[in-house]
A and B are shown apart, each in its own frame.
Chain A
Amino acid sequence: MADALLRLDGVHTHIGQYHILQGVDFEVPRGGLTMLLGRNGAGKTTCLRTIMGLWRASKGNVRLAGHDVTHLATPELARSGVAYVPENMGIFAGLTVRENMLLAARGGPPEAKRLAWIFGLFPALEKFWNALAGNLSGGQKQMLAIARAIIEPRRLLLVDEPTKGLAPAIIANMIEAFRELKRTDTTILVVEQNFSFASALGDTVAVMDSGRIVHTGGMDALVADAALQAKLLGLSLEAQP
């Protein structure tokens, strides 16, 4: 297994009076795509938000390429090459598609080559380049959210439930886009409940339950073991293969 780009050691997160993450330990291998699975309320979104610094870990460490980033502010983490696509996509509805992309390109106007590559992944964005992002369909908004995250090369891409509420045809398009993304150097961590999507893309998998990691390993092994799937994921998955 490749070395870990991201490592969480005993991470605890409290939100108000609630103790959500209760000692999360797992690592994301460099250059691969790791799926973080689990039922609703298991703590997957909290885990991503804690990594991103949007919620603070009350205990434990988050390490990025060996550096402790537990207490790094979100903008600093983003500047170190981490991109985040939240569950609600975080699209700026009152800005155009172009303005959304320009804002994400901190280093100046996006490179034409990079933009052409993104338009290849998500052709709808080129078509609606000057349209208000708020007027896009749900699938197009998700495409914009992911395109915005990869407008510049990133070390780590965190994506929260990219298939939530999307039509099957759009999910198929999304799978192709992630396959293309996997050919780059970017390490990807995806929170997902759609097991067919997860199994089609994941190299490694971590499964959460009640604020803890209850399983880590290769995705192939989990796909091949129906009993293990039933034990770990039970009825929590929206779509079995």
Chain B
Amino acid sequence: MTRAWLPLALVPALALGALPLVASLPTWVTLTVAGLAMGMMIFMMASGLTLVFGLMDVMNFAHGVFISVGAYAAASVLIALQAEAQAPSLAANLAAIGPAMLAAIALAGVLGWFFERVVIRPVYGDHLRQILVTMGGLIVVEQLIIVLWGPDLIPLPRPGALSGSFIFGEAAIERYRVLAIAVGLALFGAMWLVLNRTRIGLLVRAGVENAEMVESLGYRIRRLFVGVFVAGSGLAGLGGVMWAMYQESLSAQMGMQVMVLIFIVVIIGGLGSVGGCFLGALLVGLTANYTGYLAPKVALGSNILLMVLVLLWRPRGLYPVGK
């Protein structure tokens, strides 16, 4: 691949390019950290979808329900552990957030397994039917959430020690955003290690390129499909927890609402590319925050414009996966 480093330069170029426009260094620092945190959360939600797209060629429009279900599972745990969640001690907060994240990953993963078997499996290879049945599945699960948890927006206050900001000079950096960046980096590091240093990762990378050839080498790709789908659903659930705590509320439609950003990230990154997804998520997060500050009226369309520009430059995304 020629000039593979070029897309890597986009994030620092975008950040440095925004500095003179923002004009205030403390504001720029705050916006940059907010953009990176938002990007990390979008990456958590989108990373599973890009692998599902790349490996299984499945257009899963229901990916958003795993985000919502993860958020609701975590909210239930956090409400049950309210004393720990709202304590001023970081250790007590983490003792509540840890089980909440595990519950989100587990419930979203189980739902993903069920979804793959019941909804996706009968429509492998048929994109039109995939769109129809996954949209149908999305509506069904959203309605089930409303039946189980009610139709109202549920407030989800951030844990005590993660509320407020760190102050560096005149720049204010929200503590929660630092946690989001740390979790996002840890997740990206873990995914990189699994994909590049394990045999399963090698199989996933090969499967994204040419699933039929992986089968011809003697590997049962369907099992890999299921594993990736469940893992991707679990990651979406994890992203859902982080997103809900970031927004301090959750609703049945929260997953669907963020799907536009997720699709943009997956397309910008290159279908099936985890590295591209990570980079795309950071670009989307930064663009949303800078334009939200500089030109609020164009903020909504800024990520569409970003996608158009990236696709004009690299029509198959920043890091296209060979098919």
Which residues of A come within 8 Å of B, CB atoms? 52, 54, 73-75, 78-79, 84, 86, 90, 92-95, 99, 102-104, 106, 132, 134-135, 148
Q: Which residues of A contact B210 (CB under 8 A)?
A: 90, 92
- Name the residue on A nearest B214 (C-beta): A103
Q: Which residues of A contact B219 (CB under 8 A)?
A: 75, 106
Q: How long is the Cα–Cα vector from A78 to B219 in the complex, in angstroms? A: 8
Least Cβ distance of A224 to chain B in Å? Answer: 36
Q: Which residues of B contact A93 (CB under 8 A)?
A: 209, 322
Chain B residues numbered 185-218 whose CB sits less than 8 Å from any CB in chain A = 199, 202-203, 205-206, 209-210, 212-218
A134 B322 Cβ-Cβ under 8 A: yes
Taking chain B's interface residues, is the majority helix, strand, or loop, or is none over half, making it mixed?
helix
A74 B209 Cβ-Cβ under 8 A: no
A75 B215 Cβ-Cβ under 8 A: yes
Q: How long is the Cα–Cα vector from A36 to B203 in the complex, in angstroms? A: 32
- Cβ-based interface call for B148 (8 A): no
Q: How long is the Cα–Cα vector from A64 to B1 in the complex, in angstroms? A: 41
A134 B203 Cβ-Cβ under 8 A: no
Q: Which residues of A contact B212 (CB under 8 A)?
A: 54, 74, 90
Q: How large is the interface on B (under 10, 10 to 19, 20 to 34, 35 or more residues)?
A: 20 to 34
B206 A103 Cβ-Cβ under 8 A: yes
B202 A103 Cβ-Cβ under 8 A: yes
- Name the residue on A nearest B218 (C-beta): A78
Which residues of B come within 8 Å of A, CB atoms? 1, 199, 202-203, 205-206, 209-210, 212-221, 321-322
Least Cβ distance of A143 to chain B in Å? Answer: 16
- Name the residue on A nearest B206 (C-beta): A92
Least Cβ distance of B249 to chain A in Å? Answer: 40
A92 B1 Cβ-Cβ under 8 A: no
- Name the residue on A nearest B221 (C-beta): A75
Contact partner, A94, options B199, B209, B221, Cβ 8 Å? B209
Q: How long is the Cα–Cα vector from A195 to B213 in the complex, in angstroms? A: 27
Known: A92-B210, A93-B322. A102 touches B202 (CB 8 A): yes
Least Cβ distance of B314 to chain A in Å? Answer: 15
A95 B205 Cβ-Cβ under 8 A: yes
A86 B322 Cβ-Cβ under 8 A: no
Q: How long is the Cα–Cα vector from A74 to B213 in the complex, in angstroms? A: 10
Q: List 10 A-B contacts (CB under 8 A).
A: A54-B216, A73-B220, A75-B219, A84-B216, A90-B212, A92-B206, A99-B206, A103-B217, A104-B217, A106-B217
Known: A75-B220, A102-B202. A92 touches B215 (CB 8 A): no
Q: Which residues of B contact A79 (CB under 8 A)?
A: 218
Least Cβ distance of B124 to chain A in Å? Answer: 15
- Name the residue on A nearest B272 (C-beta): A94
A106 B218 Cβ-Cβ under 8 A: yes
Contact partner, A92, options B199, B205, B220, Cβ 8 Å? B205
B216 A103 Cβ-Cβ under 8 A: no
